[in-house]
């Protein structure tokens, strides 16, 4: 690993917050001409839970992950092994045999951020309960990208694995210092009925309560569980 990456790895170990950890990662990637980057992990469950860190505008694709039909092709297709994957519109033709329209549309969305070539580094594999990794790139054409970035691929992969471990440490630490408040008996009852497929109106009739009350119980349970949507709250409740 070159000196810049080694020094950045040391700074990761001494960073005192997730924000400083991410800033260190972003700074060292930018110093290697990789100024487009995001880290994305999927935690398995009845409804997938996504964790995103990004230096793209509006932290893209953070808002996209909140949509029920969100699809991330790197996470879906490239996290069966730790093999780095070439990504971006400059490498689409290399994947033509198996990518679908949804993947092409996603790659086109990424290109809007002046991101044409990149690498995906898996840090967690499918089947482990938590999978995903780093996607890093820039606006180079294929030839320039392969000439300037690919010689560093092994070193960048090692650094990304170190960075992933540090980010995961911060995620676990945050979960420990922010314990979720216990659900009330009614909130627990409402989520249990939701898990059986009942909608708020049916739950209200079953419990002889107003639908507005049921929706309030769902909202309170969602907040206590730290979930962005009621579907995510239900997934965490079931876990």
**pLDDT single digits (tens) 187-201:** 889 999 999 999 999
For residue 52, what pLDDT is reported? 96
Taking a C-beta distance cutoff of 8 angstroms, is the pair 113, 36 a contact?
yes
pLDDT at residue number 45? 61
Domains with residue ranges and CATH for the chain: 3-177 (3.30.450.80), 185-238 (1.10.10.10)
Q: Which residues lie closer than 8 Å to 181 by C-beta, 6 or more apart?
A: 224
Q: What is the mean pLDDT of the chain?
A: 90
Query: Is residue 221 over pLDDT 90?
Result: no
- Confidence grade of residue 224 (pLDDT, cut at 50, 70, 90): confident
Any idea how long the chain is?
239
pLDDT of amino acid 175: 65
Q: Which long-range contacts (CB under 8 A, 24 or more apart) does 43-51 make?
A: 43/129, 43/130, 44/129, 44/130, 45/235, 45/236, 45/238, 45/239, 46/231, 46/234, 46/235, 46/238, 46/239, 47/229, 47/231, 47/232, 47/234, 47/235, 48/235, 49/232, 49/235, 49/236, 51/132, 51/171
pLDDT on residue 179: 46
pLDDT of residue 181: 57
pLDDT tens-digit map of 53-75: 999 999 999 999 988 789 999 99
Question: Tens of pLDDT along 157-187?
Answer: 999 999 999 999 998 877 655 445 578 888 8
Tell me the per-residue pLDDT of 75-126, one tens digit each, with 9 for 90 and over. Answer: 999 999 999 999 999 999 877 777 888 999 999 999 999 999 999 999 999 9
Q: What is the pLDDT of residue 141?
A: 97
Question: What pLDDT sits at residue 53?
Answer: 97
The pLDDT value recorded for residue 47 is 57
Q: How confident is the model at residue 29 (pLDDT cuts 50, 70, 90)?
A: very high
Binned at pLDDT 50, 70 and 90, residue 229 comes out as confident
Looking at residue 222, what is its pLDDT? 86
pLDDT in tens, 143-161: 999 999 999 999 999 999 9
99 versus 139: which is more confidently predicted?
139
């Amino acid at each position: 690993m070159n000196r810049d990456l080694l020094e950045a790895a040391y700074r990761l170990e001494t960073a005192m917050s997730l924000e400083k950890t991410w800033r260190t990662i972003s700074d060292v990637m930018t110093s290697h001409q990789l100024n487009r980057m995001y880290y994305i992990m999927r935690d398995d469950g009845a409804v997938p839970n996504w964790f995103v860190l990004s230096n793209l505008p509006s932290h893209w694709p953070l808002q996209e992950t909140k949509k029920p039909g969100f699809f991330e092709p790197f996470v879906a297709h490239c996290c069966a092994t730790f093999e780095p994957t070439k990504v971006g519109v400059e490498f689409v033709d290399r994947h033509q045999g198996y990518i679908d329209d949804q993947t092409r549309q996603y790659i086109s969305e990424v290109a809007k951020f002046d991101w044409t070539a990149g690498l995906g580094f898996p840090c967690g594999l499918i089947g482990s309960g938590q999978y995903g990794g780093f996607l890093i790139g820039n606006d180079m054409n294929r030839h320039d990208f392969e000439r300037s970035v690919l010689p560093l691929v092994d070193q960048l992969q090692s650094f990304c694995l170190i960075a992933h471990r540090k980010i995961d440490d911060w995620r676990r630490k945050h979960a420990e210092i922010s314990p979720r408040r216990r659900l009330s008996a009614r909130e627990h009852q409402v989520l249990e009925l939701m898990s059986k497929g009942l909608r708020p109106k049916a739950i209200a009739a079953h419990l002889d309560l107003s639908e507005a009350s049921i929706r309030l119980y769902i909202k309170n349970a969602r907040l206590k569980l730290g979930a962005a949507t009621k579907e995510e709250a239900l997934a965490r409740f079931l876990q």
